[in-house]
Structure 1
Amino acid sequence: MTEHWKEVLAVDPYVVKSASLLGDIDRQLITLLYQPLIGMSAFSLYMTLWGELEQNRMWGKPAPHRQLMVMLQTNLNDIFEERLKLEAIGLLRTYEQETEEGRLFTYELVPPLRPDEFFQDGMLNVLLYHRVEKAKYMQLRDYFSYPGVPAEAKNISRSFEEVFHVLQPGERKMTEEIHQASSLDQGYEYVTVGSSQPAPLSDESFDFDLLLAGMSDMMIPRKALTKQVKETIKKLAVVYGITPLQMQNIVAGACGSDQMISTEELRKAARDWYQIEYRGEQPKLIDQKQPRHLRQDASKTPAADTPDAKLIEKLDHISPRELLKDMADGIEPTYADLRIVEDIMLEQQLEPGVMNVLIYYTLLKTDMKLSKTYMQKIAAHWVRKKIKTVAAAMKIAKEENRQMTEWAQQKKQRSPYGTGKVVREEKLPDWMKETETKEQPAKEQTDNLSTEDLEREKEKLLDQFKNMKKYNAH
Structure 2
Amino acid sequence: MELEQNYMIYKTGDFQEKWNAYISLLYKPLIENDACMLYDLFLSLDQTSITLEKLLLLYGSYANRFDASKKKLENYELIKTYYDPISRKNIIEVYPPLNAESFLNHDTFSRLFLNQCGSSHFDFVKLHFNDEVDKTNYVDISEKMDLSCLESWTQEKEETYLNLKPEEGKLKYDFDFETFLKGADRIFPMRYRTKENLSRIASLASIHGIDAVDMRKYVQRSINPNTHVFDFEKLKKQVYANQKIIKPTDDPYKMSPVKFLQNKQKGAPVANADRKVIEKLIKNYSFSNEVMNVLIEYCLNQTQQKFSKAYVEKVAASWIRLQVDSKEKALEVCRQENQVKKPAPKLPDWYQNTEQSVPDDDLVQQALSLQRQLGKEKNDEI
TM superposition score category, shorter chain reference? 0.3 to 0.5
The TM-score, its normalising length taken from structure 1, stands at 0.33
The TM-score, its normalising length taken from structure 2, stands at 0.39
Rg comparison, structure with higher value: 2
